[in-house]
Structure 1
Amino acid sequence: MEEETTAHLFWHCQRAREVWLTSNLFRDSLVHHFGSVMDMLWNKCRNGGAKKTCQALLQGVLEYLSEYQAYMEVTAYPKQSAEVVVWTPPSPTRYKINVDGAVFKEQKLAGVGILIRDATGQLIGACSKKIEAPLGAIEADAKAVELGLQFAKDMSIQDYTLESDSVTLVNALRDFSPPPLSVVALVYSSVAVSHSFRCVDFAHVGRNGNRSTHLFARHALGIANLSIWVEETPCFLEQALNQSIFVNSSD
């Protein structure tokens, strides 16, 4: 007779396994995604704001799982081309902060994702924030830069490269071209804030090199306002980060 533990209740119990199989949640690999889904479900129940129905909670979790699986398919089967877009670590004395925005048109909301990593690729801090405003893509990315700078200040990080996958925004931040009118104030204020650090560089990264950050931006839809992780990796992001392709380089 197996001990009646939580693991037994949710997984090892034959009846429980039949329920999971019937649900079709894990058609490809039952065990592989179980921890991630339970982590997301718990996060939604705890931080999801207004009380949701079981169907709404499940729908939200499935959306996250779909986004995650799409990411894993890209990293598992990268397109063969002469130019591979990757995330590259900073030099040993610096950090790299990746930022990204996500737009949720139907909900008239936006999300921001921020990841801070060191030269070994270790996650130092992460932030996911919901923006209660119907922003466009460039506005969401500009807001991500602003919040990324603030998060760096909160984490007492002074030397880093801040990366975004928006070429237009990065060129404006580096004063290579004027910013779009809708983000003029955000760009100029972000540049001013960057001068308060010891050394900050703005750089562009291709979307494939910023996919982990995009997952965090999408995660904002399911939280009340703000989620922060310091020196720990949330379950739903762990494998995505572990499978990120990067090469040793110096900024």
Structure 2
Amino acid sequence: MLVNWAANYLEEYSAVTEAQTNFGNNMQRIITSAPPPQNLFKINVDGTVAIANKKAGVGVIVRDELGRMEATMCRNLNAPLCAIEAKSKAVEVGLLFTQDIGIQDIVVESDSLITVQALNGTSTPPSAVLAIVQGIMDLSKGFRRVEVSHVKRQRYRPAHLLAKHALGIVDFIAWIEEMPCFLEQALIHNVTI
């Protein structure tokens, strides 16, 4: 009886280990857009709005030059923001989080072309986000190097999932050197589909 139990346990353990290895390889393909240039960290951010609840949420993912997740966080802004405001606040929150964890050289990626162009000085920001953009530019002075680039949301979905998760929390949650379980489950689901 004990031998059967041990054999079944060993078989299940082997199957799970193999599945996790396969998941890790597949997940790396899903969450890895191009890694940042050498000696820079990539900060992927996104913001979302729940109009009915008058809340906005932001998600932030910090990756190293090899594309590994170093830190993630989501934050409920608990304010009735429009979409462009939420996406601009996501950049601001991403910079603050990155500063808090001691990273000084970064590439920030956002799917808000308006925000990215305003931060890069190629267009004037709309009045709704003018103060936020100015605050981000002031905050950027506290880093050694900050680059801002535009990326399509489909290319990096986890930041969006974190932003949506933020709508259901009270304040903020951060994970250092680990992946949130809900994000891992969503990625597993995405891999199996």
Quick check: TM above 0.5? yes
SS in 2 for 1:179: coil
Match for 2:163 among 217, 220, 223?
217
The TM-score normalised by the length of structure 2 is 0.79
Q: Give yes or no for contact 1:126–1:228 (8 Å, CA) kept in 2.
A: yes
1:187 aligns with 2:151: no
Q: 1:103 to 1:183 in 2, by over 3 A?
A: same
SS in 2 for 1:132: coil
Consecutive unaligned residues in structure 1, runs of 5 or more: 3-30, 32-71, 76-85, 245-251
Paired amino acid for 1:190:
I
Match for 1:122 among 61, 68, 93?
68
Determine the structure 1 residue equivalent to 2:145.
199
The TM-score normalised by the length of structure 1 is 0.61
Paired amino acid for 1:208:
Q
Consecutive unaligned residues in structure 2, runs of 5 or more: 3-15, 17-26
- Alpha-carbon RMSD: 2.4
Paired amino acid for 1:217:
A
Cα displacement string for residues 2-61 of structure 1 (whole angstroms, at most 9, x for unaligned residues): 9xxxxxxxxxxxxxxxxxxxxxxxxxxxx9xxxxxxxxxxxxxxxxxxxxxxxxxxxxxx
Q: 1:241 to 1:151 in 2, by over 3 A?
A: farther
Determine the structure 2 residue equivalent to 1:161.
107
1:102 aligns with 2:48: yes
The percent identity for this pair of structures is: 48
SS in 1 for 2:121: coil
SS in 2 for 1:120: coil
CA distance in 1: counterparts of 2:119 and 2:188, whole angstroms: 30
When you count strand as a share of all residues, which structure comes out higher? 2
| Runs of 4 or more above 4 Å deviation | 239-244
CA distance in 2: counterparts of 1:210 and 1:222, whole angstroms: 21
SS in 1 for 2:156: helix
Cα displacement string for residues 53-84 of structure 1 (whole angstroms, at most 9, x for unaligned residues): xxxxxxxxxxxxxxxxxxx9xx6xxxxxxxxx
